[in-house]
Amino acid sequence: MIVAGVGPGLLTGTCLVQFDTPDGCTLLQAAEVEFENLLAWCEVTLPKADRLVVEQFIINARTIKNTQAPFSLEAIGVVRAIQLRTPPLKLDMQSATEGKSLVDNKMLRRLGLWFRGGEGHANDAIRHTVAYAIRKGWRDPRMMPPDA
């Protein structure tokens, strides 16, 4: 199963992760994509995926103060438009807390999925793909800390 992950924003975290490989999982690609390049990323990458996981953007009282809020909504729109043109690719939306509460930085490192560089947006996208895979029943012995 190959899962594409997107953490939308002015600088959008993106990834493509393959699960159920001999090593458990493999990071095929990860990047932090500027908004103007997101459409091209989607057109090239989404056809390679079996599933798409996108961090949900919830409009609340803080949204008014966040000047980057429109980019998050627009990025989701771009991703969704390409997803709709890429059957049978299905979309799964997750809240930020769903990914972060289930998959921490240490787990990403243990799984060999940690992305070095950037501002952490790519790791957020990777975190969402792992959370999705876990919810669908995927397991890897490296998920647990060595002393657990």
CA gap 80, 128 in Å, rounded:
16
For the segment 46-56, the average pLDDT, to the nearest whole number, is: 97
In a domain, 65, yes or no: yes
Provide the domain count of the chain.
1
In a domain, 29, yes or no: yes
Q: What CATH code is carried by the domain that includes residue 136?
A: 3.30.420.10
In a domain, 148, yes or no: no
Structural domain including 103 reads 2-143
Q: What is the pLDDT of residues 71-122, one digit of tens each?
A: 889 999 999 999 999 999 999 999 989 988 999 999 999 999 999 989 999 9
132 pLDDT higher than 70: yes
In a domain, 77, yes or no: yes
In a domain, 9, yes or no: yes
In this prediction, residue 57 carries a pLDDT of 86
CA gap 6, 13 in Å, rounded:
6
CA gap 62, 58 in Å, rounded:
10
